[in-house]
Structure 1
Amino acid sequence: MALSGLFLVFFLLQHFTINLTSIFSAEIFNELSHFMGTNPLVQFALQPVLIFGVVFHFVMGFVLEIKNRNARAVNYAKYNGGANASWMSRNMIYSGLVVLAFLGLHFYDFWIPEMVHKYVEFAPEDAMRYYPELLHKFESPIRTGIYVISFVFLALHLWHGFASSFQSVGFNNKYSIAATKFAKAFSIIIPLGFIIVSLVLHFTH
């Protein structure tokens, strides 16, 4: 669970870096998107690995949630979970479900149209189409609002998940505190960056 989460964090950073260029240069965004969309290594090796990582991470999340619930054989007369664990750590399954629903929307908005464009319609390549398509997706204030809320839940999910992943894989040394601080900062900065990009694209349109 922790290893798949760390893998997805790395992808999240890469995805954010590309998206960030869209608010500074449509040309650079088009170039990067065209490379990612046409490079055989990305399309036929990295993309399947990414999809597997997403599915594996969420399936493991459900499995661990069920195991944790079943492990408590006797119900407490009064259970004070907050005494030993943060609210976020006790509700990872709910923030994860919101993120999962968001991924479904994101696939519907971008990945499925891209697959149809290339492998169903066999449309001719247009290296300049990516930015206008991105801008069009954020035209709707409702759709933009959904993205913003989803990134807030992503931040909540990362706040506990990213930091705890280091401990889960046995990273426990003099750098542990620095790693935890880095994870907390990442959990705020990257989702906030996605929110800013979404709002800028919406108001640019």
Structure 2
Amino acid sequence: MGGILNSSIARKVAMALSGLFLVLFLLQHFIINFTSVLSAESFNEISHFMGTNFIVQFLIQPILIFGVILHFVLGIVLEYRNRSARPINYVRFNGSANSSWMSRNMIYTGLVVLAFLGLHFYDFWVPEIVHKYVESHPEDPTRYYHETVAKFESPVRTGLYVLSFILLSLHLYHGFSSSFQSMGWANKYAKGLRGFTVAYAILIPLGFIFIALYHYFNNV
């Protein structure tokens, strides 16, 4: 970790790789959650498998948590180093002339997304750990759908969920394509990659928003 933090190139590559890993996780997470709209039974079956599989629980899950921490620590370090490299505060700076709003505010959208991830872990992961390992309840393969839908009964919680995914969309809009650039993939396929990353940044967060609103209005 110390070597990564001290090397500019290593920081950018590690930031890109951890971001791409989280993008893959987000897609997998969306696919599983979307089954809750299609079939409660299928959602329960998949969730039960993910919640009891040894590889998922004790190998992939710790890697995911490490990836989240690494990505956001590197983001904060990069932002701090970039600001430190500009010691002179100009009286007037037209940032939009050289960069987009998203690129200039990645740290802020990222921090909001990090706060949402903390809430998400508190809302879903912590109760799951308590249910299985602290209170030691007998396993119920049919409980997952009901527990997930119940999270969207509150309009405040649902609204925060929607807002968080709007900000995640803005974060992905710039960050996803930047990950490929940081890894040197700016070649003749760059235009196609950019189109793909923009579509992903819009459609996947919209999908999560649809799931939240679908369950909320079904609960009303």
Q: What pairs up with 1:40-55 in 2 under 5 angstroms?
A: 40-55=54-69
Q: Which residue of 1 aligns with 2:6?
A: none
* 1:143 counterpart = 2:143: no
Alignment partners' CA distance in 2, 1:60 and 1:106: 21
- Secondary structure at the aligned position of 1:23 is classed as helix
Alignment partners' CA distance in 2, 1:33 and 1:17: 11
TM-score, structure 1 as length reference: 0.99
Q: Which runs of 5+ in 2 are unaligned?
A: 1-14
Q: What pairs up with 1:114-193 in 2 under 5 angstroms?
A: 114-193=128-207
Letter in 2 for 1:112: V
24, 37, 46: which one pairs with 1:23? 37
Alignment partners' CA distance in 1, 2:66 and 2:112: 19
Post-superposition offset of 1:75 = 2.0
Alignment partners' CA distance in 2, 1:75 and 1:106: 37
Q: Which runs of 5+ in 1 are unaligned?
A: none
Per-residue CA deviations over 1:45-86 (Å, capped at 9, x if unaligned) read 000000000000000111011001000022223211111100
Q: Pick which of 80-89 and 69-78 moved more.
A: 69-78
Alignment partners' CA distance in 2, 1:74 and 1:121: 56
Alignment partners' CA distance in 1, 2:200 and 2:176: 9
67, 75, 91: which one pairs with 2:81? 67
- Secondary structure at the aligned position of 1:22 is classed as helix
- Secondary structure at the aligned position of 2:37 is classed as coil
Per-residue CA deviations over 1:157-178 (Å, capped at 9, x if unaligned) read 0000001111011102211110
Q: Which residue of 2 aligns with 1:93?
A: 107
Post-superposition offset of 1:18 = 0.3
**Please, what is the CA RMSD of the aligned residues?**
0.7
Alignment partners' CA distance in 2, 1:60 and 1:165: 13
Alignment partners' CA distance in 2, 1:125 and 1:77: 62
Alignment partners' CA distance in 2, 1:190 and 1:170: 25
Alignment partners' CA distance in 1, 2:218 and 2:45: 20
Alignment partners' CA distance in 2, 1:120 and 1:180: 46
Post-superposition offset of 1:204 = 1.4
TM-score, structure 2 as length reference: 0.92
Q: Pick which of 9-18 and 170-179 moved more.
A: 170-179
Post-superposition offset of 1:25 = 0.2
* 1:110 counterpart = 2:138: no
